[in-house]
Amino acid sequence: MNFILISKIVQRSEKAVAEPQTLVNYKMAMSVLALVAERDIKKTTTRKMDKL
């Protein structure tokens, strides 16, 4: 699921290089992706801690 999302964002980023106005959208998408990834990492680490 997340991999598909990342590949879509990468495709958009390649277009964003060609179109400067979408660069802002790309930056926003990357920050959102970073937040989601951070949240997922926290979830997985807490699950691992619970198992220990």
Q: How far is CA 31 from CA 28, 35, 40, 49, in A?
A: 5, 6, 14, 27
The reported pLDDT for the residue numbered 35 is: 83
Q: Which domain holds residue 13?
A: 2-51
Number of domains in the chain: 1
Quick: pLDDT tens for 4-51: 777 777 776 666 565 666 667 777 778 888 888 888 877 777 777 676
Whole-structure pTM value: 0.40
